[in-house]
């Protein structure tokens, strides 16, 4: 009987710990999203090519230490990237250019040069 009570209490503690960790992660993601969506910040904006999953790019950027957020804006998928310097901008460009890309249908997508929205002709 004591073993059953201890097992139950252990399950409650583990469940509570998992819920607490998920809450912490969710709040951290919400904070990052709020920072990138803030009109006073100036994140890099990259138009994700049609058929490309922005999560693949976002994961590659996260491995390199960059925060990014995929948004759908006027029917165009964009990736907002927290980038503070020209050196970081070059690193972000290189990371995006070197990600192996396949479209949703499995076809490889070739990207010759990454351009951010602020570099496109007006």
pLDDT digits (tens, 9 = 90+) for 8-49: 999 999 999 999 998 887 777 766 766 666 666 668 888 888
Q: Would you state the pLDDT for residue 13?
A: 93
Predicted TM-score (pTM) of this structure = 0.63
Mean pLDDT, residues 48-70 taken together: 86
Within a 10 A sphere around the Cβ of 65, how many other Cβ atoms? 9
What pLDDT, on a 0 to 100 scale, did the predictor assign at position 39? 63
For the chain, the C-alpha Rg in angstroms (whole number) is 20
42-122 placed in CATH 3.40.50: no
| Average pLDDT estimate for 51-60 | 85
What's 109's DSSP letter?
P
Category of 19 on φ-ψ map: left (φ > 0), alpha (ψ -120 to 50) or beta = alpha
**65 secondary structure, DSSP code:** T
Q: What confidence tier does 109 reach under pLDDT thresholds 50, 70, 90?
A: low
pLDDT of residue 71: 84
Residues facing 69 on adjacent strands: 80
Predicted pLDDT at 12: 93
46 contact partners, CB below 8 Å, separation of at least 6: 57, 78, 79, 81, 96, 114, 116, 117
């Amino acid at each position: 009987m004591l073993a059953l009570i201890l097992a139950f209490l252990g399950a409650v503690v583990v469940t509570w710990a998992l819920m607490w960790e998920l809450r912490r992660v969710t709040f951290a993601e919400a904070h990052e999203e709020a920072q990138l969506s803030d009109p006073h910040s100036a994140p890099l904006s990259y138009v994700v090519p049609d058929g490309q999953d922005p999560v693949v790019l976002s994961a590659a950027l996260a491995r390199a230490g960059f925060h990014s957020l995929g948004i759908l804006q006027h029917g165009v998928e964009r990736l907002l990237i927290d980038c503070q310097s020209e050196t970081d901008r070059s690193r972000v460009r290189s990371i995006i250019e070197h990600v192996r890309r396949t479209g949703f249908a499995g076809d490889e997508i070739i990207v010759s040069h990454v351009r951010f929205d602020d570099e496109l002709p007006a």
